[in-house]
Amino acid sequence: MTGPSSDLVRDAIETLHGASLDDALARRFSLADETVHLGDTMFVLRKPANADHLISEADYVMDERLPYWADLWPSSRQLAATLLAEHGGGRTLLELGCGLGLPTIAAMRAGFDVTATDYYQDALHVARANAGRNVGREPTVRLVNWRAWPEAFGPFDVVIAADVVYEQEYATLIADCIAKSLAPGGVAIIADPGRVALPTFVARLPLVGLRIAETTTTPYDEGKIHQEIQVMRIMWV
């Protein structure tokens, strides 16, 4: 669905929850369910059936934006698995680039008070719906552009992101956004499959007062995908 009618549906979705939100998303997209097993925990994510159908020439011309949010990436799985082992205890958590919402959902299941952000409004709606079906409630959501970080946003006890430094520009922006949003004594947990911009991100961290305190690497092998996913715990110097 495209054009003005699509915009009207998208605007109306912001006020919907539960089954009404699911129904509205089904009118907006052709949807498919994907089951995710993380140890003994199972989640079912509902997502656009084909992310390629969401590509917008206008979005790409504006800032080379592509709908990567509509796919489930291996780093999101690993980050979610990591979060399930955490003890949220009501601590505040911010996700940068929530996409379909898997890490956000895992963090909510672990007891965090989650704020999910993305550059696509549709991603926020899909993440809300997935959280509602999997944990029975929605996260706080906010549309955020990393290039124009909102004032007085946070701070958060934990900041997370999965596979977000796939461009050199993003590597610098993400490091800066973590520094702007992480509370004193907080930790950022970032999962990355070895993207080309990762060295730029790592080099930027000390320039904004951050350091990598710990890195764990986990192989991911499924079909044609073979990755070494690093999960970095980042803290203040």
| Number of separate domains in the chain | 1
Residue 25 lies in a domain: no
Q: Is the pLDDT of residue 7 over 60?
A: no
Question: Which of residues 12 and 64 earns the better pLDDT score?
Answer: 12
What tens digit of pLDDT does each residue of 202-217 get?
999 999 999 999 999 9
CATH code, domain with 144: 3.40.50.150
Residue 172 lies in a domain: yes
Side-chain half-sphere exposure of 237, counting CA atoms within 13 A: 8
Q: Is the pLDDT of residue 4 over 60?
A: no
Residue 214: strand, helix, or coil: strand
Q: What is the pLDDT of residue 1?
A: 38
Residue 30 lies in a domain: no
Q: Is the pLDDT of residue 5 over 50?
A: no
Residue 7 lies in a domain: no
Mean pLDDT value of segment 107-122: 97
Residue 44: name the closest of 36, 53, 52 by CA. Answer: 36
For 3, 121, 132, 133, the CA distances from 136, given in Å and listed in that order, are 33, 21, 5, 6
Structural domain including 111 reads 68-236
What tens digit of pLDDT does each residue of 21-78 get?
999 999 999 999 999 999 999 999 999 998 887 877 666 656 666 788 999 999 999 9
Mean pLDDT value of segment 178-191: 98
Contacts of 62 (CB under 8 A, 6+ apart): none
Residue 152 lies in a domain: yes
Residue 2 lies in a domain: no
pLDDT bin (cut points 50, 70, 90) of residue 2 is very low
Residue 10 lies in a domain: no
What tens digit of pLDDT does each residue of 185-198 get?
999 999 999 999 99
Q: What is the pLDDT of residue 63?
A: 65
Residue 103: name the closest of 66, 158, 48, 169 by CA. Answer: 158
What tens digit of pLDDT does each residue of 126-172 get?
999 999 999 999 999 999 999 999 998 999 999 999 999 999 999 99
The token duo for 111 is: 């007891």
The token duo for 54 is: 């969401």
Q: What is the pLDDT of residue 3?
A: 40
Q: What is the pTM of this model?
A: 0.92
